[in-house]
A and B are shown apart, each in its own frame.
Chain A
Amino acid sequence: MSVIEVSRVSRHYHVRSGLRWWRRQEIQAVRDVSFHIEAGETFGLLGPNGAGKTTIIKMLTTLLLPTAGSARVLGFDVASQPGEIRRRVGYVFGGDRGLYDRLSALDNLRYFAELYGVPARAQRQRIAYVLDLVRLAGRERERVEGYSRGMRQRLHIARGLLHDPPVLFLDEPSIGIDPVGARELRATVSALADAGKTIVLTTHYMYEADELCDRIAILRDGSIVAEGSPADLKSRVSEGEVVEAVVHSLPADAIARIQELAGVRSVTVRDLDRAQVLLVQTKPAAQLAAEIAGCLRGTAIQSLSVRAPTLEDAYVELVGGT
C-alpha cells in the first residue's frame, strides 16, 4: 500500500469581485490530479505560482477538502478521517509566518508539543533532539523575533518533527533563505529522508528538487504535466542542447526570429538586474549557436554558451517558456 494515494482529485475556489454587485467566479486550482508516493520516498511537486502545489499539500494535510476525487494518507481518507492523519503527519511551510515571535523557540516547541500530544515526560528529550537536529541547540531561549530567516525555517522543521511523524509535508521550505541557509536546510531534509521519513516537498528551486527528490511531479494550471525521477524528466530534453546567452536590451523581434529557426524547441527569457538571460532549447543535432548569434546581431551579448540540459530546462519546457 502506498503511503499517499491521490486519485483524480480536483479543487476549485469561488472568488467574489466587484464593489456594488458581487460577481462570483470559479477558480480551478487543482484538476483531476492522481499520483502515489511510497514509504521513504521524497516526492517533489514543482510548478509556477498558482499551479496548485500548495492546494494539494493543504488537501493532504486535511486543511482543505477536495471538491472531487479522493486522497488517502497512510490509509486514512483526508475528507472523513482528518484526526487520524493529523496525528501522523508534519506540516512545514516557508516564509516568516507560522511561529509566535514574542515567545522563545523553546516556548514555541513546548506549545506545539502539547498540541501534538507529545507525552509530558518525553517532551524535554524530544525538544532537545529536534533542536539539535536543526542546529538550534543553545539558541532556544531567545525570542523568535530575533531569529534570522534561516533559523526560523529550521525552527519550523523542528516544530514539524516534534511528534516524530512518518510523513512530512514541506511547502517551499527554502523560500527567501540565503544560499548557506538553503544548503543547511537541504542537508537537514536529506538527513530526514535517510532516516526513512516520507517527504512531500514543493519548491521553486530546481537544484533543490534535483538533489533531494526521488520522484517529481510537474504541475501546470492545476494539472500534472509530467511525472518521474529527475533523470527521467531531464532525459525528455537531453537529446537536444541548450544555448544560453546573457544579453543587454534584447529586442522583441529577436525572440520571434529565434523562435522561427528550424530546430528550436523553446525560447525563454529571464530578466536579471541589468541584463537578460536567453535560453534556447534545441532539437538533437540542430547546432544553432551561430544562427542564434546571428539573430542577436545589434544586441550587446555578454556571453553565449552551449550546454547539456538540466532539470530546470526540462521544467521550463514542460510548464511553457516565453
Chain B
Amino acid sequence: MSAGRLLRLVAVSWYLHLKMLHRSMFDSVMQVVWPLFFATTALLVYRATGDRDALSYAATGAAVVTVWTAVSSNASGILQRERAFGTLELLVAAPAPFSLSIMSIVLAVTTTGGYAVAATLLWSRFVFGVHLAPAWPLPFALALVATVFSFGVLGFLLAVAAVRYRAVFALGGALELPLWLACGFLVPVALLPSWLRPLSWLLPPTWGMQAVRAAAAGQSLWADLGLWAGSTAAYAAAAVWVAATVLRSARRHATLSLT
C-alpha cells in the first residue's frame, strides 16, 4: 500500500471509530462530565494553598490527566471490544497493516479525551477563576497536543499487547494512577523519590508535560520537546514491533477470538 493509501486508511478509520464512540449519548456526556469531578477535587485541594500559580499548575495537570484516564481505560480494552464484536479476526485477516488499524482506533479514543481537556480548562476558568495565561501560547498548545499524542502512543502499545495477553485489559486501568504521579501531572517530578525519577524520564508524557510547563512559564521548551519526540518514537517503534510479534504468537497459540 502507498503512503497516501495508508494515510487515507488512518483518516477514514479514525473518523468512523470516532463516529461510533459518539453514537451513545450517555458515553458522550460522561466523557465531558466525569473529568470535571476530578478537576474539581484537584482545584479545591490546590486552592487551599492560596497560591495562584499552584492553581494554574493544577488546572493544566487536571486537564491532561483526564486524557490519560480516557486513553488508559479505553485503549487496553479496544482489542477486547473488537473481540466481542467479532471484528478482531477481520482486522487481522485484512491486508492493511494491523498496527495501523489499531493505531487509528486509539487515536479516535485519544481525540475524545480532547473534549475532556477543553471541558476541564473551561471549568477551571469559569468556576474556579483560573486564568491560564501561558507566556508562549502557541508553543504551549503545541506541547499540550504533543503530550496528548504520547498518551495515544502508550495506549497503542497497551492495545496491541492485548492481542496476545488478555490480562493487559486490566493492566490499562492499573497504570492510570501511577502515571499521574510518575509523569508529573499534578506533582512535580522533582518531588518524587530520586530512585523513581529515572522511571519518569523513560515516559514520553513526562517530557511533554515539562514542555507544557516550560511554555507556560516562558522558558525554552525545545529540549523537552526533543526528548518527547525521541521517547515517543521509541514507544511507537516498540508498539509496531510488539504488534507484529504478538500477531505471530496469536496465530501460533490461537488467541485471536473468543471461540
Q: Which residues of A contact B (CB under 8 A)?
A: 13-14, 54, 58, 61-65, 83, 86-87, 91, 93, 95-103, 107, 110-112, 114-117, 120, 159
Contact = CB atoms under 8 A, between A and B. Distances in A.
A114 B86 contact: no
Contact of B19 (A95, A103, A115): A103
A58 B253 CA distance: 13
Nearest to B98: A115
A63 B251 contact: yes
A239 to B, nearest CB: 39
A97 B24 CA distance: 19
A98 B95 contact: no
A111 B100 CA distance: 13
Nearest to A118: B5
A93 B28 CA distance: 32
Contacts of A13: 254
A116 B87 contact: no
B225 interface: no
A114 B1 CA distance: 11
13 contacts: A13-B254, A58-B89, A62-B251, A87-B95, A98-B89, A99-B87, A100-B85, A103-B20, A111-B16, A114-B12, A115-B13, A116-B95, A116-B96
Interface string B1-30: 100010011001100100110011000000
Contacts of B142: none
B133 interface: no
B5 A117 contact: yes
B91 interface: yes
A117 B13 contact: no
Contacts of B90: 91, 98, 112, 115, 159
A114 B251 contact: no
A61 B13 CA distance: 23
Interface of B: 1, 5, 8-9, 12-13, 16, 19-20, 23-24, 84-87, 89-96, 101, 251-254, 256, 259
A86 B252 CA distance: 17
B96 A91 contact: no
B95 A111 contact: no
A107 B13 CA distance: 10
A191 B91 CA distance: 27
A107 B19 contact: yes
Contacts of A114: 8-9, 12-13, 96
Given A62-B251, A114-B8, A114-B9, A103 B16 contact: yes
Contacts of A14: 253
A76 to B, nearest CB: 12
Contacts of A96: 86
B102 to A, nearest CB: 12
| 7 closest cross-chain pairs (CB), A and B | A97-B86, A115-B94, A98-B86, A102-B23, A86-B95, A87-B95, A115-B96
Chain A CB within 10 A, most for which of B87, B93, B94, B101: B93
Contacts of A87: 95
Contacts of A159: 90
B85 A99 contact: yes
B16 A116 contact: no
Contacts of B89: 58, 63, 91, 98
